[in-house]
């Protein structure tokens, strides 16, 4: 009789431990899927943000400033604010404000210096490195 009880208890323990391990693996898989989904969303919005800056600059240089890219840039900035941590979204918001100001002045021929344009470009490159770090992409050597 004792061996039957040991067998039943062993079987029940095996079922419980197996179920617990399956739950842990399932939870881990869901977490990995959420992380992948967040990373994909960040990658998409970071790309849109950088594309909008470039397009806004092109509009400003051509004098055909219809502000369509400003709207896209503001929308991407809002998404970055939601999806990213402070170390990414704060510099992105600050750069957005600067870009909108400088590009407006370029389009209006209001005397933007080469130093200002170079500073915006430098800050854009610094933000790209933050984006890469946030996405766990190794920096260029």
Strands (E), the chain: none
Mean pLDDT of the residues in the chain: 87
pLDDT value for 141? 66
Instruction: Give the tens place of pLDDT for each residue, 59-74.
Output: 888 877 777 788 999 9
Cα dihedral 7, 12, 15, 21, rounded to 10, equals -110
Enumerate long-range contacts of 95-98, CB under 8 Å, 24 or more apart.
95/53, 95/120, 95/123, 95/124, 95/127, 98/123
User: Do 63 and 108 touch, CB atoms closer than 8 A?
Assistant: no
| Closest to 72 measured CA to CA, from 48, 94, 91, 43 | 48
Mean pLDDT for 48-52 is 95
Question: Is the pTM here over 0.75, yes or no?
Answer: yes
């Amino acid at each position: 009789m004792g061996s039957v009880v040991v067998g039943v208890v062993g079987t029940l323990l095996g079922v419980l431990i197996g179920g617990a391990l399956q739950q842990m693996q399932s939870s881990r898989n869901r977490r990995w899927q959420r992380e992948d989904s967040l990373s994909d969303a960040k990658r998409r919005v970071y790309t849109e943000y950088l594309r909008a800056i470039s397009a806004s600059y092109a509009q400003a240089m051509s004098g055909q400033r219809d502000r369509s890219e400003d709207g896209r840039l503001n929308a991407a900035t809002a998404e970055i604010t939601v999806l990213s941590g402070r170390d990414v979204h704060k510099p992105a918001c600050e750069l957005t404000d600067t870009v909108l100001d400088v590009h407006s002045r370029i389009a209006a021929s209001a005397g933007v210096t080469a130093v200002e344009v170079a500073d915006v470009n430098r800050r854009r490159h610094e933000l790209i490195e933050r984006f890469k770090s946030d996405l766990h992409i190794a920096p260029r050597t």
